[in-house]
Amino acid sequence: MMKNYENNVNEYSMDYRNSSSNRTITKEKRQTQKVVGSVRNNKPLIYDKDHQDNRINKDTEEYEGTLKTKKIKKRKVILYRLTFGCIILFLSLVGVIIVTSTFNRTASVVSNSDLDKYSSFIAPVVMHDPVPFDSIENADKQMVISSSIWRTILQNGVDNYNSFDDAGMVLIPVEDINKSCGELFGPNCKINTQEEIFGPFFSFSKGEENFHIGAISNLGTYIPRVENIKEEGDLVVLKVAYLSRDEKNIESPEKHSEPNKFMTYKLKLNEETDKLYIYSIEDT
């Protein structure tokens, strides 16, 4: 008769060599063979030889000592790799942001505005073929006022000004022309209304609120064509081709038209309006 227990097997045997009366039963205790694995908390890992696959008894606490440790280590490796990958991705994004910020203004100019927009912006100035200047303070005053008047008319339309003086000249508020002056030449551009002003087609008397504008024509003037845009420090630099105003170019400058000359226009950002204005004009 045999009875099994978890770690021990008790076996009883009978010795038939003695007489039946003297027959005794002896109890033999036999232990199963064990293979001791790693030890954790003074508890050995038990492998039962009767299990051919040498599987660990998952019901014992010792199961957490080896395989679970390996799983934890594997998870840590995956976690470290994931963390490292996130750091690399973050640094890459920071690098892209830094590079993008370095060329932010130029990129903004090129992406948000085409060459025609800048050509239209400087057109009221180019038509006067101005003498180069390094600041608005050194620019020709007649050119500044005339350019500002032209911008006012082109922006607002001549039909919006239907008031006339006794001589039939159109009346345009000084406020409108001053606004155009600031848009073209920056915040330091102000028309001096404390003096008498006279030009080829305009006049202004001290104490008045309007400029008197006579008949004007843009025939024989230049049309701008911006060839390229680049950045120099805090300036946006335009290479401008001057085209003759004729029937071929009267509506829009053709790309294949031969320029009469080239000039360099440098634009600067007006921090108050967040818009560019003409800072200087140079020979090319």
Let me know whether 165 and 268 are in one domain: yes
Annotate the chain with DSSP letters as a single string. -EEE-SSEEEEEEE-TTS-SSS--EEEEEEEPPEEEEEEETTEEEEEETT-TT----TTSGGGGGTHHHHHHHHHHHHHHHHHHHHHHHHHHHHHHHHHHHHTHHHHHHHHH--HHHHHHHHHHHHTT-PPPBSSGGGS-HHHHHHHHHHHHHHHH-GGG---B-TTSPEEEEHHHHHHHHHHHH-TT----TTS-EE-SSEEE-TT-SEEEE-----TT-EEEEEEEEEEETTEEEEEEEEEE-STTTSSS--TTPPPSEEEEEEEEEETTTTEEEEEEEEE-
- pLDDT at residue 157 tops 70: yes
Let me know whether 41 and 125 are in one domain: no
Is residue 127 a part of any domain in this protein? yes
Let me know whether 254 and 132 are in one domain: yes
Let me know whether 122 and 255 are in one domain: yes
Averaged over 8-36, what is the pLDDT? Answer: 46
**Structural domain containing residue 36:** 2-61
Specify the number of domains making up the chain: 2
Let me know whether 144 and 271 are in one domain: yes
Is residue 95 a part of any domain in this protein? no
**pTM of structure:** 0.60
Let me know whether 129 and 31 are in one domain: no
pLDDT digits (tens, 9 = 90+) for 181-198: 999 999 999 998 899 999
Is residue 236 a part of any domain in this protein? yes
Is residue 194 a part of any domain in this protein? yes
pLDDT bin (cut points 50, 70, 90) of residue 231 is very high
Let me know whether 55 and 119 are in one domain: no
Let me know whether 171 and 56 are in one domain: no
Is residue 98 a part of any domain in this protein? no
pLDDT digits (tens, 9 = 90+) for 166-176: 999 999 999 99
Is residue 71 a part of any domain in this protein? no
Let me know whether 137 and 42 are in one domain: no
